[in-house]
Amino acid sequence: MRIGLRLEEHACHGVMLAGRTVVAAAAVLDAGSLTEAAEQALFRLGQIKAATVSEIVVDVGRVLTSRRLSSVAVIRVSPRPPADAFHTSRLPRIVEGAATRILHVRGGHDIRARELAPLDLASFKKNVATVVEGHRNVAITALGATSTDEHEARIADAILAHDSSVRISISHDFFANAFRDRDFTTTLNSALMETGEFLAITLEQLCRRHYPGAEVSFVKNDGGRARIRQLAGTPVHALHPEPASQLLGLALLATEPDCEVIMADDKAMTVGATRGGIPASSSLIRAGYEASLATNAAAVENYTANHPIHPLAPTVVADLRKDRGEPLPFGLNATFSTHEDAALIGCAAAPWTAWIDRLENVDNKEDLQQVQRLAEEDAKSIVIQSGGSPALTRIMESNAYALPYGNPGIVRVRVQAADESDHGNGVQPPHQQQRVAT
């Protein structure tokens, strides 16, 4: 059995799931602290069958969003500093205040990982004390970091040599073509690391105390989960998991693993899609003209009157409103309605997922196929290392993109792998269900 928790600063909602069935639920409101809320929720759920709980998946998105961001020293690496204020990379408002120090260091690579300017490590080392003074978090974004992490890693090493307790986030860990998107993501990630670290430690201890045999993980923005320890390093991937969890939960409840889901709640109508029970994702969370967040997240959009109907895939119109007196807007008929907390169920059912998103050099179709195969193997192996089943880990998405006006032969390879074994959606062929039962 699996537990899903949605944690808040003073509250915690939890469900216990057996397959698709909710066997227990708990809601703790107005607790004295986050720890207390989580502890109470775990305790209440555990009154039934604590020993049979094998997985605990936690949604920490609301905690990460509500807590104050830690201050970050932002280091940008490029051949020359901006000439004026207009050409200075601007951080989105939500993180602008957290970036309390911004420093330029000479360096950077091109897309072929060739050095554009030698890294000015000597001056950096001289000033490292002043750079990190008063900062426990540092974000480093270098030009060309999609092709190599060399300069970012060398700066990180220099900082750690000075003070090994500083938390460092480098932009090589996030895939986005635009410098400002990586700069934003790295900075935000860095600003969340302190909270991520706290949550990782707290949750692991709490869960171990109540459910010693259970695996603890957190749900990611793509609706999949990852080991709780990774929350300390890349908390940004845990920031907005709810839309994905909701999609996943609804697809599970509606027993439609491949479908378009139109969701009508009291506030809005949104639409997303699932494939193999997992939300269809995009690699960026866009925010209009501001920088985008480089994290794989469920693609959920507002539903409009012009929304095209896909004749081949089934559509689930989920009525999630509290009051169903009025008909749905746009003349839609609900195919499915529930008052269950679909996002929480989706969280409990989250499968292990992993992404590979990187640039590769290819000369021809054969090369392309090979790098794609390698990426698929890498993605699978990450899932399996997390705890996924070797037999039931599948490639959910595998694409190679040409880069317009890019160097000939450089392609972006993007792959998602997921463990399908713990998908309690009951639509798998019988031979795959065995592991679910054990």
Partner 1 sequence: MRTLTSIDVGHFSTGANFLACHIDPAAVFAYEDMIQRALPTGDVRLLSVGELDPEDLVVALGFVTQGLAIADMPPVGDEFIGCIREIEKKLGRKVSALYSLAAGNINGILPLMAGLQTALPIVDSDPMGRVLPLISQTTLSLGGVDISPIAVMGVTGERATLDVKDPHRAETLVRSLVIELGGWAATAMYPCTAKQLREHGIHGTMTRMIKIGEILDAEEAVERKYVQLVDLLNATRVARARVRHMESFSRERELGLPTQTTSLTLVDEVTGHIIRLEIENEILLVLVDGAVAAAVPDIVTLLSAEFGRVVNLDDVRVGHLLDVVVTPAAPIWYTDAGLNLAGPPAFGLPLQHPRRHD
Contacts to partner 1 by CB under 8 A: 78-87, 89-90, 108, 110-112, 116-117, 143-144, 146, 177-181, 280, 282, 289, 304, 306-308, 310-311, 313, 364-365, 368, 399-409, 411
Q: Given the complex with partner 1, which of 49 and 310 has the nearer CB atom?
A: 310
Give the whole-angstrom CA distance, residue 390 versus residue 291: 38
CB of 394 to partner 1, least distance (A): 18
Lookup: tokens for 185 = 């993501």
Q: Given the complex with partner 1, which of 96 and 110 has the nearer CB atom?
A: 110
Beta-strand pair 301-302/281-282: unpaired
65 sits in which H/E element: helix 61-66
Sheet strands side by side (includes 2-7) = 21-28, 12-18, 2-7, 55-59, 215-219, 225-227
CB of 371 to partner 1, least distance (A): 11
Give the whole-angstrom CA distance, residue 250 versus residue 243: 11
Q: Given the complex with partner 1, which of 360 and 377 has the nearer CB atom?
A: 360
CB of 132 to partner 1, least distance (A): 25
Give the whole-angstrom CA distance, residue 78 versus residue 367: 31
CB of 29 to partner 1, least distance (A): 40
Q: Given the complex with partner 1, which of 303 and 352 has the nearer CB atom?
A: 303
CB of 310 to partner 1, least distance (A): 6
Number of helices followed by number of strands (H, E) in the chain: 11, 23
Q: Given the complex with partner 1, which of 132 and 359 has the nearer CB atom?
A: 359
Beta-strand pair 297-298/281-282: antiparallel
Report which of 209, 206, 201 is spatially closest to residue 36, judged by C-alpha positions.
Answer: 206
Q: Given the complex with partner 1, which of 405 and 438 has the nearer CB atom?
A: 405
User: Using alpha carbons only, how large is the chain's radius of gyration in Å?
Assistant: 23
CB of 252 to partner 1, least distance (A): 21
Give the whole-angstrom CA distance, residue 346 versus residue 376: 25
Lookup: tokens for 156 = 């990180």
Q: Given the complex with partner 1, which of 67 and 106 has the nearer CB atom?
A: 106
> How far is the CA of 193 from the CAs of 17, 64, 69, 116, 276, in angstroms?
30, 10, 9, 31, 32
Q: Given the complex with partner 1, which of 79 and 426 has the nearer CB atom?
A: 79
CB 48 within 8 A of CB 42: no
CB of 360 to partner 1, least distance (A): 11
CB of 397 to partner 1, least distance (A): 10
**Angle, in degrees to the nearest 10, between helices 121-132 and 150-162:** 50
What's the one-letter identity of residue 248? Answer: L
CB 22 within 8 A of CB 16: yes
CB of 79 to partner 1, least distance (A): 4
> How far is the CA of 107 from the CAs of 49, 117, 317, 377, in angstroms?
57, 5, 52, 33
Q: Given the complex with partner 1, which of 362 and 382 has the nearer CB atom?
A: 362
CB 139 within 8 A of CB 70: no
CB of 403 to partner 1, least distance (A): 6
Q: HSE, CB side, 13 Å, CA atoms: give it for residue 112.
A: 7
Q: Given the complex with partner 1, which of 282 and 381 has the nearer CB atom?
A: 282
